[in-house]
Amino acid sequence: MASKIKKIGVLTSGGDSPGMNAAIRSVVRTCAYLKIECVGIYRGYQGMIEGDFKTFDARSVNNIINKGGTILKSARCEEFRTKEGRKKAHDQLVKEGIDAFVVIGGNGSFTGALMFNDEYGFPVMGIPGTIDNDILGSSYTLGFDTAINTVVDAIDKIRDTASSHNRLFFVEVMGRDVGHIALNAGVGAGAEEILIPEQNLGLERLLESLKRSKASGKSSSIVIVAEGDKTGKNVFELKEYVEEHLPIYDVRVSVLGHMQRGGNPTCFDRVLASRMGVKAVESLLEGKSNQMVGIRDTKMVLTPLAEAIKAHTEIDEELIRVSDIMTT
Ligand code: ATP
């Protein structure tokens, strides 16, 4: 049976992540391939409310697969949290003749999409775009692979100077609620300790570990600290604490910050984005809605948005064990 969906909107919402452009490109090209109209919605839900739309064809997304950020811009939109705001958005979509939308974003964006669907029965599909890799239903979110490669690259450089000067570096990485970036990049960059929100190692254990590291002959050390780690101290306070209790160390701090969100997406993120965009459009045309596209065991899968927003993904205990063994 032919689908009732003839025009699909696509938007990016919440924090940007590398791979969002590749996902936009994929949604647009899949629509073109299936002879469906596609409309870019600028500035997330804010642009939806204001009718900031532009018709896209296959050529509108030339040369963006390799670019970080999002050509559609992203925004946080307080008005969409209100019934009145969502009514305005619905009016704009109806006026433009849009029958369904794909939202590329995180938990908040999916919550908004669900509420919108609940009120208007409007078909919605989510693509997880966040560097944190914290969304249930997908082993990988768009941008995570790029972010951990960016972090590993930065730490490799920091290690050069750390080992030249026999220094200890605390490197703060993103991750307020989850430590996936810290743990994966930490293992990949050979960090001596990794402090993540899911695990409170305690300051004593950190000191013990650093003492052991020194005694075993290591002349420099890298400790990765996720923003939300639970030691109760930020990286600068950790530096002071260690300098006070272990004066043998010359300690430095590096906060990587927003550089982790930018940059050209890795090939992994580009391929993932391409697959997710195809799956999102095809699923809408099959009559599915309120789902998030994800990847599990190398297969594209759908998870109800209501499930995806329920909780963060758990940290990989096996990888924590690997990390512990590697720091011997
Ligand atoms: P990230 O956390 O990776 O930045 P996100 O999608 O979780 O991405 P948010 O800022 O939480 O980012 O949400 C993006 C937008 O989604 C909000 O600005 C708002 O417009 C909409 N939104 C978030 N939560 C809700 C909600 N409870 N009801 C309606 N809309 C919401």
Q: Which of 87, 84, 75, 74 is nearest to 122 (CA)?
A: 87
Lowest mean pLDDT among 166-170, 201-205, 269-273: 201-205
The answer to whether 131 and 174 are in contact (CB under 8 A) is yes
Instruction: Say if ligand 1 is within 6 A of residue 129 CB.
Output: no
Is 135 in a helix, a strand, or coil? Answer: strand
Measured from the CB, is residue 76 less than 6 Å from ligand 1?
Answer: yes
pLDDT of residue 323: 92
CA–CA dist 273, 21 (Å, integer): 8
Hey, how many other C-beta atoms are within 10 angstroms of the C-beta on 8? 26
Give the 3-state secondary structure of residue 126: strand
Q: How confident is the model at residue 225 (pLDDT cuts 50, 70, 90)?
A: very high
Q: Are 60 and 42 in contact (CB under 8 A)?
A: no
How many Cβ atoms are within 10 Å of 209's Cβ, its own excluded?
17
Q: In a mutational test of the pocket of ligand 1, which residue from 16, 72, 80, 312 has the highest number of ligand atoms less than 8 Å from its CB?
A: 80
d(CA 87, CA 40): 19
Q: Which of 52, 132, 134, 269 is catalytic?
A: 132
Please state, in angstroms and rounded to a whole number, the distance separating the CA atoms of residues 130 and 144: 7
pLDDT at 49 over 90: yes
Could you identify the atom of ligand 1 that is nearest to the CA of residue 105? 6
Give residue 325 CA to ligand 1 midpoint distance, Å: 39
Q: What is the pLDDT of residues 114-124, one digit of tens each?
A: 999 999 999 99
29-43, 77-91, 204-218, 248-262: segment of lowest average pLDDT: 204-218
Q: Mean of the per-residue pLDDT values for the chain?
A: 95
Whether residue 130 has its Cβ less than 6 Å from ligand 1: yes
The answer, yes or no, to whether residue 181 has pLDDT greater than 60, is yes
Q: How confident is the model at residue 218 (pLDDT cuts 50, 70, 90)?
A: confident
Residues 6+ apart with CB under 8 A from 263: 18, 68, 146, 150
Residue 1 pLDDT > 60, yes or no?
no
Cα R_g (the chain), whole angstroms: 22
Q: Phi and psi of 171, rounded to 5°?
A: -115, 115
CA distance 106 to 76: 11
Taking the CA of residue 17 as reference, the ligand 1 atom at the shortest distance is 3
DSSP helix/strand/coil, 264: coil
Confidence of residue 105 (pLDDT cuts 50, 70, 90): very high
Question: How many angstroms separate the Cα of 286 from the Cα of each of 9, 56, 181, 279, 301?
Answer: 16, 22, 35, 10, 14
For each of the domains in the chain, give its residue range(s) and CATH number, in order of start: 7-143+265-308 (3.40.50.450), 144-261 (3.40.50.460)
57 is an active site residue: no
Mean pLDDT, to the nearest integer, of 74-78? Answer: 93
- Residues with Cβ within 8 Å of residue 29, at least 6 apart in sequence: 58, 61, 277
So what's the pLDDT on residue 294? 98
Q: Is the pLDDT of residue 103 over 80?
A: yes
* 220 pLDDT above the threshold of 60: yes
pLDDT band at 219 (very low <50, low <70, confident <90, very high): confident
Instruction: Work out the pLDDT band at 214, boundaries 50, 70, 90.
Output: confident
Tokens of 107: 């938990």
Is residue 16 a contact partner of residue 261, using CB atoms and an 8 Å limit? yes
Tell me how far the alpha carbon of residue 81 lies from the centroid of ligand 1, in angstroms: 8
Site of tokens 């992994």: 268
Instruction: Using the predicted structure, report yes or no on whether residue 296 has a pLDDT greater than 70.
Output: yes
